[in-house]
Structure 1
Amino acid sequence: MNLIYQFISLFTEDNLIVKNLNSKEDLYKASINYDINNYKNPDYESFLETFTSICEILDSYTLDLTFTTMNKNNDTTYVELNDKIFSSFSTNTKYLDDLYENIIKNKFEMISKDEFIRLEININKPMELESINRIFFFNSFIDSLSKKDLKYILVNSPIYNSLNYKKHIIFLIDEDITPFFSQNIYFLHDKKNLENISSLDLDYEHIVNNYKRNCHFINSNLNITPYTFKLIKRSQNEKINEIFDKLTTMISLIYISNYSELDGENILKVYINGYKLIEGMIDYCHSPKLPSSYFDIFEWVYRNEHIEEKLELARQIISLDYKENLYDINDKSLASIESNYLIYLKENVDSYISLKNQITEDILKLSLESRDIIKDFSSNFKNTFLANLSFVFTILILNIVSETSKPTNIFNRDLSILYLIIVIVSFLYLIFSIINTKKDLEHYNSTFNNLKELYSGLLSKDDLENTFNNSILTSDTEYIKKRIQFYSVFWLLTIIISLVGLYFLSQWFATEVSNTITYIKKL
């Protein structure tokens, strides 16, 4: 339990202390006030134990404590029993005994029902790097941090601005939280958690030196990096996650841009000179969530060697992807940058664009060629259908001219057999066409994958997947299958209709069908 809450609970029966208290906290000061309505005299042993525990954690901190009695009916009239009972806690037992007997026990137990005690606590915290810094009210600290402007964090804060790759801030939180941390800032509940922190293996000096050679932040000589706020282990509190994510992205932009500056307190302006000069602006307080791609680009650029070349390539691609604002940049931008780097150096950006255009043309050509599979199948169907129809009309015309056959016996035995052969051949041709279409589809899939494999040496893995999107292959394949299915059903229907027509137009065929059915029934 938070020791401050524990201290307050000594004087009240209220079970909603956390809900009813008013607390504030930033890097340098924590304060709290709480109105004690249901006052009770604390147990001496508990009083002594709690005070001693608070003294132990305060270390170099100073604490001011004020008890004030106030009238419930008129807040403007009150009696202040003791203005700042003490400053700088002492573990002197006699001092605590006097405090308990003369102030706490003797005076406060005489409070009437119409009065209450207002308890005010102010803690002054000298912040130090590489030492333990306490946070007493975690949510209040987050609220305070969320209200700080960007200029304060990046320029004016002596603590954040003093951070560099060699220094750390360690916060010990007087509440039970799951530890979370970045490369330079740790939030812990127990000092023992320090043993479990794993930092990244980075050459910070190499990163900062390259940044200073290639980028310029007009407002200050920036020492922190995006890794300063990039959470290695995230918090269970989403609000502080959002603050750290936003700071990580904005510092990443500073590390990518040619020039950057703060316009006022919260607006970051960046200038990126790539294929074209772009001027972007982000409001730290009011802009929507920034794309994390900027940190990914920063990390790729400043990893290992050839930082200047990679930074130039990144600026080229960002300027190409930039349309209206800095939110146009996404994961595909990094994939394009990596692919461009494989082609190597800025003079080959044109080659990369030409390559992407060539790939697009090849994919489009292959997609158009896939439509020939449908054309071939539909052509086969039309040919067999027209042949079938021509034969039937020829027989009908001959019978009309000769006027020798009855309507129920237009097809004699020989013609019926010939027509049956035509229908059977049509069915076999349908089967053949379906099999052949499947082979063509397999060939199309194989050609698509071969084309993808062909360009795998020129594009990065992510860019290759984005360019040769499997949805293109799936879409074409599904479309072909649906069209083939449609023609197959229609083709099969024409065969069935042909047999039904022959049954009614050929007495011989009708007799043979009847005899066959009778024979089957006898089996």
Structure 2
Amino acid sequence: MFLKRIIDSITPKAICIDTKENNREATYLFRFSALTSNIENLSAALGLINNRDSFTLKISLTESDQTLVLSENSEAEISDFLKKVELYCGQNDNLEGTITLKVTKEIEQGKCSVYSVSQISKHWSTGTILENLKKINSLAKQCYHLECYDIPSDFKTGLFIFSTPKNDLNRTTHPEHPDKQARIKARDKSCTFYQRDVFSFIPEDFHFDSDFYNSEIRNLFGKLQLAICLTYLCDSSRFNNNGNLELHLNGYKHISYILEDSHPTSACINDYFELYQWAYHQGNTSDKVGLCRNVLSIHIEEDNLLKLRPGCMGATTSNYAIYLKENLKQYIDIKNKINEQIQKSSEKASDLVKNIGTYLKGSIFSLYSFVFSVFLIKTLAKSTPTTDIPALPIISTSTYCIFLLFTTTSILVLCYATTEMNAEIRRFKENYASLKNRYNDLITDTDLSKILQNDSQQNMDIAYLKSARKRAIILWLASVTFIFIAISTIYFKEL
């Protein structure tokens, strides 16, 4: 009892009546039959209390209604307090009474004091599993670093760091598991836990990095670790009105079980924790959790989730290997279908390029044909000279107007072809996104990304379409501009 040294500094004869500690305060009640008044001893003993915490030391005499109270660790206050103690000692030959020490714990920068691990463990362990979780959750929301005054070394879980006050852990970050939120989301997809908004725990929050020295806290955290594991493996779970955890597991058979204030074995806790870690580590969590349920349902005796036959983990991994082999053909078929769709998309990209090329080639050819026809007609007309008819210009005004009409039509064709090409590119992207969403429920995002090679083929097709569109437009503009300049030059020189 760490703070008993404060009591011993006042009275040489003290009998403990009651001791208790919770998340916010520690209280010690002693009966005494003699008092001492050494200012140095009391001052040194009060120095054991953490500076961020406050205290109240109260002496009550049996034969008197008055009490002596000390609440500040200053030399003047301690001296005044001890003078009153000496006065009482001089006025009363038979000194009997009680001493109450109450320490109010404050939380600063995520730190909180624990003066007695055994007492805080009694506080946490009292009541149902629901009450246990509420007490721990209340503290975990405010701090994560517990400075314990009676532990031999440092320990850590996903919620707390239990350290000795001598260790300087000011720079220690929160011990939360890096995948905590991801595992909670995965659990919500595979299981139904009705109090998920109240308790956002994962089993690692109650798993010690080494064997904790206090058996009561070790047993409590083991029980809570098991309870949280079950919420990650069973189909549905909820705390009932009695504070017990109701569990429903649907495997090869349906099992309903109520987890009360029981004492599971270490082997049982380790088996469930191992199953949980395997199910939520990698791969398709929903499939792996479903497989765990099937194996658990035939390894549980008497429909009691705490009576788990050995070999459950080995059976689960073996069944998973068979499951993968049975689904390999389906996986290959899906992969081939996706590759086939990608190949069709690439062929469609080639067709789009051919279509815009056909549009633009047709418009350029129409201009070329018109110009060629004009020159051919003029050439034939000159080959049969007639003296009575004056020579006509190669490009007349009416011919030039028709040429402008053809040029305008070609520009409209270019606009239409470009608009169609842009619309087809957008549709091409949308179809690809729809293809990816279509297979999300069948294979994981990682596998889909590998099959699609991180969208490399899609990106290449899009780049090809844009490049082909650019080349076609440039070629069309160059051709039409050349023909327009040539015809316009001939026309204006003959005016």
**Counterpart Cα distance in 2 of 1:200 and 1:124:** 27
Change (3 A) 1:196 1:94: closer
Q: Tell whether 2:2 aligns with 1:23.
A: no
Q: Structure 1 residue 339: deviation in Å?
A: 0.9
Going from structure 1 to structure 2, the CA distance change for 1:272 and 1:345 (only over 3 Å counts) comes to farther
TM-score scaled by structure 1? 0.56
CA deviation map 1:56-80 (0-9, x unaligned): x141x3323221111xxxxxxx313
**Residue 62 (structure 1) aligns with:** 54
- Once the two structures are superposed, the pairs formed by residues 62-461 of structure 1 within 5 Å of their partners are 62-70=54-62, 78-82=63-67, 85-86=69-70, 89-101=71-83, 103-113=84-94, 115-126=95-106, 131-155=110-134, 159=138, 162=141, 169-192=144-167, 194=169, 202-221=178-197, 222-283=199-260, 285-289=261-265, 291-292=268-269, 293-324=271-302, 325-344=304-323
Root-mean-square deviation (CA), in Å? 2.9
Deviation at 1:98, TM superposition (A): 1.9
Match of 1:377 in 2: none
Instruction: Kindly provide the amino acid, as one letter, of the partner of residue 299 in structure 1.
Output: Q
Deviation at 1:245, TM superposition (A): 0.8
User: Normalized against structure 2, the TM-score is what?
Assistant: 0.59
Q: How many residues align?
A: 322
Distance 1:202 1:220, change over 3 A: closer
SS of equivalent to 2:65: strand
SS in 1 for 2:19: strand
Q: Alignment partner of 1:68: what SS?
A: strand
**SS of equivalent to 2:296:** helix
Residues 157 and 142 of structure 1: CA distance in aligned 2, closer, same or farther (over 3 Å) = closer
How much does 1:235 deviate? 1.7
Q: 1:111 and 1:181 mapped to 2: Cα distance?
A: 51
Gaps of 5+ in 1: 71-77, 349-523
Q: Which amino acid in the other structure matches residue 180 of structure 1?
A: F
Q: SS at 1:79's partner residue?
A: coil
**Aligned counterparts of 1:110 and 1:208: Cα–Cα separation in 2:** 66
Give distance in 2, aligned partners of 1:229 and 1:66.
Answer: 38
- The DSSP-based 3-state class of the residue aligned with 2:282 is coil
Q: Could you list the per-position Cα deviations for residues 383-403 of structure 1 after superposition, in whole angstroms to 9, with x for gaps in the alignment?
A: xxxxxxxxxxxxxxxxxxxxx
Cα 1:54–1:110, aligned 2, differ >3 Å: closer, same or farther?
farther
Residue 317 of structure 1 aligns to which amino acid in structure 2? Answer: V
Taking structure 1 as reference, are residues 46 and 160 closer, same or farther at Cα in structure 2, changes over 3 Å only? Answer: closer
Q: Report what 2:38 is aligned to.
A: 43
Contact 1:24–1:140 (CA<8 Å) still a contact in 2? yes
Aligned to 2:351: none
Residue in 2 aligned with 1:424?
Answer: none
TM-aligned CA distance change 1:11 to 1:93, over 3 Å: closer
What is the distance in 1 between the residues matched to 2:182 and 2:237?
Answer: 21
Instruction: Give the conservation status (yes or no) of the 8 Å contact 1:67–1:119.
Output: yes
Cα distance, 1:329 vs structure 2: 2.3
2:39 maps to a residue whose letter is: Y
Take 1:171 and 1:185, find their aligned partners in 2: how far apart are those partners? 7
Unaligned runs of 5+ in 2: 328-495
CA distance in 2, matches of 1:137, 1:80: 31
Report the CA distance between 1:150 and its aligned residue. Answer: 1.3
Q: 1:173 to 1:21 in 2, by over 3 A?
A: farther
Looking at structure 1, the residues matched to 245 and 74 of structure 2 have their Cα atoms a distance apart, in angstroms, of 53
User: Secondary structure of the equivalent of 2:255?
Assistant: strand
Aligned partners of 1:162 and 1:223 also within 8 Å: no
What residue identity is the alignment partner of 2:103?
I
Q: Give the conservation status (yes or no) of the 8 Å contact 2:140–2:160.
A: no
The one-letter code sitting in structure 1 at the alignment partner of 2:27 is S
Over 3 Å counting, the alpha-carbon distance change for 1:54 and 1:81 in structure 2 is: farther
Show the 5 A alignment for 1:454-473: none
Cα deviations by residue, 1:184-240 (Å, 9 ceiling, x for unpaired): 212222251648999697422221111122222223423111111111122222222
User: What is the deviation of 1:35?
Assistant: 1.0
Q: Which amino acid aligns with 2:102?
A: N
2:10–2:38 contact (8 Å) kept in structure 1: no
In structure 2, the residue corresponding to 1:254 is in which secondary structure?
helix
State how far apart, in whole Å, the 2-side matches of 1:234 and 1:317 are: 29
What do the CA deviations read for 1:134-168 (whole angstroms, capped 9, x no partner)? 112222222222213211233576525738xxxx6
Secondary structure of 1:224's partner?
coil
**2: distance between equivalents of 1:236 and 1:286?**
21
Q: CA deviation at 1:174?
A: 2.3
